[in-house]
Amino acid sequence: MNKLHSQSDWIARAQKVLPAAGFGNFDPGIIISHGEGSRVWDENGDEYVDYLIGSGPMLLGHGHPEVIEAVLEQLPKGMTFFANNAKGIELAEAICDAVPCCEQVRFLTAGGEADMYAMRLARAFTGKPKILKFEGGYHGMSAEAQMSLAPSVQVNFPKAVPDSAGIPQDVADNMLIAPFNDLAAVESLLSEHQDVAAIIVEPLQRIIPPQSGYLQGLRDLCTKHSVLLIFDEVVTGFRLEYGGAQERYGVTPDLCALGKIIGGGFPLAAVGGKEEIMRHFDKSEVGADLWLMQLGTLAGNPIASVAGLKTMEILRREGAYETLKQYGARLQKMQSDALAKSGIPHKICGDETLFDLYFTSNEPLDYRSAKHDDPSVNTRYNDVLRQNGVFKSPGKLYPSLALTEADFELTEAAVAKAVAAIA
């Protein structure tokens, strides 16, 4: 291999032009060269089974031929217009057909942007300033979202702890923080604070599942207190089921944020909800004082729209979600069996379509309980997996429909080595 193009060379170049030598997303010590199907390759030519899949959007795998064909058909017709286009309208129709709460949608470019607008929309509709979010919940990079995402110190609820510099105190003053899976805490806060516009929640918080009845309990409390319920479905949308967490759990919020899968691997997101709330994007309907100004250069662009439409079409085919869940269950079992055989305490946490391990005997119920007894064990486990051809986040595993029998065999062999390394 030409050393000028080795991974170490790219890392050195990144260190000169990128803060912390990376894009801020993932380990900057690995530079991905390309992906195909269920695999990715780094700049050294090392090959991996990909369980990161771009942090979720590549549910069909890399370079799915039907998605590529749709994109190539659109490319010569135009890449973006900053104007309505037929493919974007078709995608909006498909999303509204699929997602229970979506009577209308507004396109954006990133999931965090969709979360931001969902919170702003709730404030405009209700006329109330405060947002209730859950400790450990991830909703993008807005100032509101960067409250108690990953606090290093425990404080009393509902105090909000900023996770980033540069956020004014008045943002924290308008955020209430509650523990996930604790309806009593939410009810107490809503009874005490009459100025809450919305609750924003990941229906599956990172990988922590909601307890039975929890999401319906949130729905009921929001209805009782005239508070909007926002589901952040950037990750769960079109992953847990075709209709997302709303279909899986049978609970319909007032608003939701969508992203990742709806763009088919291209930048695209959406905020969707009831027409009476979404009308705040229409100045002619609500007037200047209640209007939400929103625009984005690439929002609803036809390239992302056709990729999303084709991805969604493939996911509607018979057996797609059954297959995805079978794959996830197999990956869960191979790890749990190997760890149990070696007597290593662990919990599989999440859904078959999105999960990971906690090295603990405790049940992960919220941010404070979802942790490893010894984080170094998790670090070692994931390091050995990567050394043996498994590419994943240290806290999340995304199955994809592109997985093959050879991928499962490689993964099982890597798991055996990782378990041996921590036994």
Q: Which residues are catalytic?
A: 138, 232, 260
Three-class SS state of 43: coil
Tell me which residue of 181, 161, 180 sits closest to 171, measured CA to CA. Answer: 161
Structure tokens, 21: 């030598």
| CB hemisphere CA count around 74 (13 angstroms) | 23
Amino acid at the residue 306: V
DSSP readout, 381-418?
HHHHHHHTTEE-BTTBB---TT--HHHHHHHHHHHHHH
DSSP 243: T
End-to-end Cα, the chain, rounded Å: 36
Residue count of the chain, please give it. Answer: 423
Is the Cβ–Cβ distance between 281 and 294 less than 8 Å? yes
Alpha carbon distance 199, 176 (integer Å): 9
Is the Cβ–Cβ distance between 292 and 125 less than 8 Å? no
* Helical pair 214-224 and 183-192, crossing angle rounded to 10 deg: 10
Structure tokens, 371: 């942790």
How buried is 295 (Cβ within 10 angstroms: 0-12 exposed, 13-18 middle, 19+ buried)? exposed
Is the Cβ–Cβ distance between 218 and 203 less than 8 Å? no
